[in-house]
Amino acid sequence: MCELFALSCNRKDSAAFSLPLFARYHSPYWDGWGVGYYVGTHARVVRNIDDPNYSETFRRTVQKARSNVIIAHIRLATSGDVCPENCHPFRYRYLNRDWLFAHNGTIDLLLRLWHCCISQR
């Protein structure tokens, strides 16, 4: 099962202790990982399919992630390819603002949802 981690604070904080524990808890059942956070008003997302417990990229990302909002995801693929592009979180630019989001499950009607969002712009 996919797992989500979220941190929301009234000031910038770090998940340098919690995120490695989150990754370790789900090993070895994973098909990718992702971490998203804000730098100012811009969302930064780092995703990969390597083992976060041994990943230099994951370690550096956790050290840099200092924000009011941090979202992380451990992926267990139920559909779609095992690739960084299918790992969460996702960044979406809407109304001149970056949004971070992640979900558990499969969005079967993604194309219909996408067209609905585009038509409301």
Does residue 16 sit in helix, strand or coil?
A: coil
Instruction: Say what the pLDDT of residue 119 is.
Output: 58
pLDDT in tens for each of the 121 residues of the chain? 678 899 999 999 988 899 998 888 766 667 889 999 999 999 999 999 988 888 999 999 999 999 999 999 988 777 788 888 888 899 989 999 999 988 777 766 665 666 666 555 5
DSSP label at 89? P
Find out whether 102 and 89 touch, Cβ atoms under 8 Å. Answer: yes
Residues contacting residue 63 through CB under 8 Å, at least 6 positions apart: 16
Give percent helix, percent strand, percent coil of the chain, each to the nearest 5. 25, 40, 35
Instruction: Say what the pLDDT of residue 3 is.
Output: 82
**Catalytic residue positions?**
2
Domain boundaries, the chain: 3-119
Instruction: Say what the pLDDT of residue 60 is.
Output: 94
CA dihedral over 75, 80, 82, 83, signed as positive or negative: negative
Instruction: Say what the pLDDT of residue 78 is.
Output: 77
Class of CATH domain 3-119? alpha beta
